[in-house]
Amino acid sequence: MSKLTISLSVGNYDRTAAIFDGRAPIEGCEVRAVHLEPEEAFHRAFRYEEFDVTEISMSSHMMTTARGDAKYIAVPAFLSRVFRQSGIYVRTDRGINTPADLRGKKIGVPEYQITANVWIRGILQDEFDVKPSEILWRRGGVEEPGRGERAPMELDPSIDLQQIPDDKTLSGMLESGELDGYIGARAPSCFLRGAPNVGRLFGDNYIEAEQDYFRRTGIFPIMHTVGIRKSLVEQNPWLPVSVYKAFLKAKMLAVKELDEICHLAVTLPWMVHHHNEAKALMGADYWPYGLDANLHTIETFARYHHEQGLSKRRVSPAELFAPSSLDLSKI
């Protein structure tokens, strides 16, 4: 039987490298793969359905699943996970010293619905009782003017979300003082350049804040998963398991490399030490795939997503994934 030719787009991560170099092949498939930055992959997938298998945003996937018009079905491989206390940037000359001080402030967002911001708003409400309706949200491009939402939304009227001028950027407005803060997946360039009066809300202690959050909640926030075009799965029902097994193997190989102290897999002198620190805090499999190991995390995200008005109904985690990928055979 000839192999199925599929297109693949995922980020350039250690946990996907083995799929690109052939150590973790997708069974039954001839793969034409490209590395893309997540924002570009999401835009091309959700707008134009360009790829058969692609990295997708958890927020966009949950939104389309809730609406019933999802073009992709996922497998429970979570390519991007990031603690998000580090993603809150503020003007340090505005008296913003705690999350409570964000009330009434103008905070920039590249998109209201992106996964990172769903997590940040949920954490602000759950952990610090700061509601999304208490913040003035200003949307636009972080470094390039003119960015809008990837997907249509209908927010509660209590949410003050306004587009910034077409000739301005969030980073520029944060640096000039036109914004009081910014939340997002990427650090704004003004922060990276060391612009005056721009810093993280949690300062240099953000790692401690994130570790404390994990100890108390057991949540390692999921940002992206792997989606397969639904129409392709209907024609080839074996495909989700083949895709998922490849991503599982690729992650396993990446983690194995982190244990090698004789040659460092990452250009970081104390990489093995950091790897062991993560295991001590989070367990041996600190980047788990599969639904069962991530059920609490996905349920929490689904609650945030619904509470924030991004999904009109609360999505059950199992709805997001191809059923066969949740029931791998055992030997």
The pLDDT of residue 13 is 96
Q: Lowest-confidence range among 123-127, 148-152, 214-218, 230-234?
A: 148-152
- Same topology between domain 4-81+222-324 and domain 85-217: yes
- Give the residue-averaged pLDDT of 158-173: 96
Average pLDDT over residues 191-205: 97
Domain extents for the chain? 4-81+222-324, 85-217
Q: Is the pLDDT of residue 245 over 80?
A: yes
- pLDDT on residue 330: 60
Confidence (pLDDT) at 16: 97
163-190 mean pLDDT: 97
pLDDT band at 186 (very low <50, low <70, confident <90, very high): very high
Tokens 């034409």 locate to 32
Average pLDDT, the chain: 95
331 pLDDT above the threshold of 80 = no
pLDDT at 262 over 90: no
271, HSE (Cβ side, Cα atoms, 13 Å): 15
Kindly indicate the confidence band of residue 219, based on its pLDDT and cuts at 50, 70 and 90.
Answer: very high
Extract the tokens encoding 63.
């939104």
Mean pLDDT, residues 142-167 taken together: 90
Question: Which residue, among 243, 236, 239, 279, has the nearest Cα to 259 in the 3D structure?
Answer: 279
Q: How far apart are CA 85 and CA 253, in angstroms?
A: 29
pLDDT at position 1 over 80: no
Q: Which fold has domain 4-81+222-324?
A: D-Maltodextrin-Binding Protein; domain 2 (3.40.190)
Band (pLDDT 50/70/90 cuts) for residue 84 is: very high
Which pLDDT score, from 0 to 100, does residue 39 have?
A: 86
Fold type of domain 85-217: D-Maltodextrin-Binding Protein; domain 2 (3.40.190)
Sign of CA dihedral 274, 209, 142, 154: positive
Cα distances (angstroms) measured from residue 243 to each of 32, 77, 149? 14, 9, 29
Q: Which pLDDT tens digit goes with each residue over 20-56?
A: 999 999 999 999 999 999 889 998 988 889 999 999 9
> Which residues does 223 contact at the CB level (< 8 Å), separation at least 6?
57, 58, 78, 80, 81, 82, 115, 116, 119, 185
Res. 155 pLDDT band, cuts 50 70 90: very high
Residue 261 pLDDT > 80: no
Average pLDDT of span 290-304 = 98
pLDDT tens digits along 59-73: 999 999 999 999 999
Report the alpha-carbon distance of residue 19 to residue 237 in Å, rounded. 21
Mean pLDDT of 84-97: 97
CA-CA distance, 100 to 137, in Å (whole number)?
16
Q: Which pLDDT belongs to residue 58?
A: 97
pLDDT, tens only, 7-16: 999 999 999 9
Cα-trace Rg, the chain: 20
> Cβ-count burial of 122 within 10 angstroms (0-12 exposed, 13-18 middle, 19+ buried)?
buried
pLDDT of 93 higher than 90: yes
- By percentage, how much of the chain surpasses pLDDT 90? 87
* Mean pLDDT (whole number) for 147-154: 80
